Amino acid sequence: MSAHNLLVELLVEELPPKALKKIGDAFSTEIWLSLRDQNLISYNDIELGKNPIAYASPRRLAVWIQNVKTQADDKEVLQKLMPVSVGLDAQGKPTPALLKKMQALGVVCENHDELLKKLHRAVDGKTEALFYTSTVKGAGLQQGLQKALEEALHKLPIPKVMQYQLHQDCDLPGWSSVSFVRPAHGLIALHADQLVNVSVLGLRSGNTTLGHRFEAAKTPVLIGHADEYEQTMADDGAVIAGFDDRSLTMLRALRSEAKKLGARLEVEPEGLADEEAETFLLNNELVQEVTSLVERPTVMACRFEEVFLQVPPECLILTMKANQKYFPLLNKTGKLSNSFLIVSNINPADASAVIAGNERVVRPRLSDAKFFYDQDRKKTLESRVPSLDKVVYHNQLGTQGDRMHRVCAIAESIAKGLVEAGIQVWTKDEQQLVSLSVRAARLAKTDLLTDMVGEFPELQGIMGRYYAINDGEDILVAEAIADHYKPSFAGDELPRSDVGRVVAMADKLETLVGMFGIGNLPTGDKDPFALRRHALGVTRILVEEKLKISVNSLLDLALAAFVPASVAAFDKNRLEVFFQERLINFLEADRYPLNHIMAVLGADNLQDWSQVRERLDAVAHFSGLPESQALAAANKRISNILKKSQDAVNTKLDPSLFKEKAEQVLFEKLNIVALEAHSLYEAQDYTGSLQALAGLRDAVDAFFNDVMVNAEDTALRLNRLGLLKLLHSHMNRVADLSRLAL
């Protein structure tokens, strides 16, 4: 069968920009998958990785697929009919049931012998069955593409469907309604230069489309061949059809214009090479959204008045990016410039009107930001505290004022606990950690009542820091107000100071205990109160900052801040498990093997998570030793023996009861090794501690070869069990080694 390249384009009204790339990729992939499954694409091409090329612009979805067949090859299909005992009688002749089945399949035979020749018998499971091999004619391209289009449109990840009416001259009879993401106006289906006759959404396929609304050289645009689509759209339609091509063209123009102004894009990290920067920026949310708004981007430079630079840069950047889709610029010192870049969908000979219009549009936005900032600074954060009592936090947990008092109490308790644990703070004295943490917790939510945060909720915490500095608060309090939301997403940085860490943990623990206490738990992928994120945030702070305080203790401190009746459904064990799940996920993301993680978490004396990573590194080193598997297996065996024992076992041993040489040797060897391992453990040299235990291998092997643990004599049995219990306790200080056994 002949094979040529296929082009499919659906012309629509402006698609939702935030979903365009996802919809375009899905449109391409689903059509390709359907044609592949119908054998209309050569499997040689599939193996060679000849994937489809997706095109997506504001007004079109398209796909170009290589080597699509005109007709799929016929294929043989093996079909199980029924058990032999049902299909054939005692004489081996077809039963009525078999004859009826064959008739339903359209198989006509002159006699029974001819029918039996078309069947073959084979064992299927425990019974012998009859099978029939039929030839299924391959699908034609028209039929296959029709099916592929219908399936693809049904599976598109459309955020919201709209319904619209079709005109009488459409492909559907009468005035009909169609549901799709946006009204569709054209359909192209070309196999090389041949039209494929298909129809969807009331449209019949053709070979013409529309280009740029204002700058197309030809209207309509004629696509003469599937392979000419991209070039024809660029030349005649003034459209860069490929999403990534359009994005890359836009990025290079943006970066070039920024360099001319002696600046860099605010969305671009500093210090990246050109290729690295482009790769990074292609995934930027603003870049993708603006790419989805233009068909052929033109970059222009604009300016705003320098007086607006008195406003915190975060406010200006947010209003330019979120409301106007502009690209703010940073000067050579990393500060916000009063120049910014816009991306236009038109390229006029004289761009002054476009530039002036955008400068005029942004000015009121920046004026609003400056007004909010000036007004908010007229009231201190402290003066806003009483108003927290008027804001409902949750109908079962009270107001933001109630919540603030709980967070203050939790922060005070955590700070005192960390001081007692000997935390190394970089404040003037240890007690200052407590007072500053309580002060920051008291003011942390007050910026929610400001005009600026009311207009831009994304600035909560950030504006609190600016207002706290304006009020003369300690810089650690101001930074803690900004940082107490951190980490707020995967990879986010942690709070800068111990004060910030204390308040961040207190805030997150209050939410977790409160929501668990009223039964608002995450279910499946639904987590409206971001409890997983809060638990992961606390987990990261504990692990990465090596804080010597346990989750168990933190939950007790947090629970004490609540009136018991308000959190009657609280289950501490359930929340502890929830935290441990977050820790496991976090460590797995750091590429630690799951069995190593479970070994460390199963250690007998793991009080907190401050040394979890060091223990994991030690386990990784130990696992590479030749003795590791033998000791892990022995540890597992010891665990099973101790679990099954009905005796009350202690580690007070009587050396005079050692009857076998192997148990005497193990006892003596253990005393030597345990002393070294303990010394290294206390010095937090977990790798050395585990390596020291490797010296026990021969003694442990000999013990299990020569000694019967469960002896008839009670005193002898208890002494041997006690020796194993002592060995077990020394082996499992760093990690539960039994978890490493294969």
Name residue 208's beta-bridge partners: 222
Which residue is listed with tokens 């391959």? 138
The string of pLDDT tens digits covering residues 477-516 is: 999 999 999 999 888 999 999 999 999 999 999 999 999 9
The string of DSSP letters for 313-345 reads HHHHHHIIIIIH--EEEE-TTSPEEEEEEEEES
User: End-to-end CA distance of the chain, in Å?
Assistant: 54
The string of pLDDT tens digits covering residues 696-707 is: 999 999 999 999
CB 2 within 8 A of CB 40: no
Query: Is the domain of 338 the same as that of 444?
Result: no
Query: Is the domain of 473 the same as that of 587?
Result: yes
Give the Cα separation of 178 and 163 in Å (integer). Answer: 6
Query: Is the domain of 204 the same as that of 329?
Result: no
Query: Is the domain of 401 the same as that of 467?
Result: yes
Residue 13 phi, psi dihedral angles, 5° rounding: -80, 170
Query: Is the domain of 198 the same as that of 304?
Result: no
- Write the CA distances from 524 to 158, 245, 512, 528, 605, integer angstroms: 22, 38, 17, 11, 33
In a domain, 604, yes or no: no
Q: Mean per-residue pLDDT for 192-206? A: 93
Query: What pLDDT, on a 0 to 100 scale, did the predictor assign at position 115?
Result: 73
Query: What pLDDT, on a 0 to 100 scale, did the predictor assign at position 169?
Result: 54
pLDDT tier at 426, thresholds 50, 70, 90: very low
Q: Chain-wide mean pLDDT for the chain?
A: 91
Q: Please check the confidence at residue 627 and state whether its pLDDT lies above 60.
A: yes
Which range among 158-162, 684-688, 719-723 shows the weakest confidence by mean pLDDT? 158-162
Q: Please check the confidence at residue 427 and state whether its pLDDT lies above 70.
A: no
CATH number reported for the structural domain that contains residue 173 in this entry: 3.30.70
Query: What pLDDT, on a 0 to 100 scale, did the predictor assign at position 429?
Result: 63
Query: Is the domain of 56 the same as that of 186?
Result: yes
Question: Which of 19, 594, 631 is closest to 293 using CA atoms?
Answer: 19
In a domain, 609, yes or no: no
Question: Pick the residue with more confidence: 177 or 581?
Answer: 581
Query: Is the domain of 328 the same as that of 452?
Result: no
In a domain, 262, yes or no: yes
The string of pLDDT tens digits covering residues 45-85 is: 554 456 799 999 999 999 999 999 998 877 767 778 788 77
Query: Is the domain of 165 the same as that of 214?
Result: yes
Query: Is the domain of 700 the same as that of 713?
Result: yes
Query: What pLDDT, on a 0 to 100 scale, did the predictor assign at position 44?
Result: 60
Q: Mean per-residue pLDDT for 328-357? A: 95
Q: Mean per-residue pLDDT for 7-30? A: 95
**Collapsed DSSP state (helix, strand, coil) of residue 617:** helix
b/e burial code for range 547-573 (CB count within 10 A of at least 16 → b): bbbbbeebbebbbebbeeebbeebeee
In a domain, 600, yes or no: no
Q: Which of 235, 265, 286 is a domain's end point?
A: 235
Query: Is the domain of 83 the same as that of 209?
Result: no
Which residue is listed with tokens 């060091």? 614
In a domain, 381, yes or no: no
CATH number reported for the structural domain that contains residue 576 in this entry: 1.10.3210
Which residue is listed with tokens 């390596």? 691
The string of DSSP letters for 244-304 reads HHHHHHHHHHHHHHHHHTT-EETTSPTT--HHHHHHHHHT-HHHHHHHTT-SS-EEEEEE-
Which range among 252-256, 472-476, 600-604 shows the weakest confidence by mean pLDDT? 600-604
Domain count, the chain: 5
pLDDT tier at 652, thresholds 50, 70, 90: confident
CB 467 within 8 A of CB 381: yes
In a domain, 307, yes or no: yes
The string of pLDDT tens digits covering residues 164-182 is: 887 655 555 555 788 899 9
Q: Which of 218, 235, 252 is a domain's end point?
A: 235
Q: Where in the sequence is the domain holding 642, given as residue range(s)?
A: 614-740
Q: Mean per-residue pLDDT for 378-402? A: 96
Q: Please check the confidence at residue 4 and state whether its pLDDT lies above 70.
A: yes
Q: Mean per-residue pLDDT for 307-317? A: 96
Q: Please check the confidence at residue 428 and state whether its pLDDT lies above 60.
A: no
Query: Is the domain of 568 the same as that of 431?
Result: yes
Query: Is the domain of 433 the same as that of 581?
Result: yes
In a domain, 598, yes or no: no
Query: What pLDDT, on a 0 to 100 scale, did the predictor assign at position 573?
Result: 95
| Residue 181 DSSP label | S
In a domain, 601, yes or no: no
Give the Cα separation of 157 and 15 in Å (integer). Answer: 12
Query: What pLDDT, on a 0 to 100 scale, did the predictor assign at position 424?
Result: 54
- Write the CA distances from 164 to 31, 57, 146, integer angstroms: 24, 21, 22
Q: Which of 188, 211, 235 is a domain's end point?
A: 235
pLDDT tier at 123, thresholds 50, 70, 90: confident
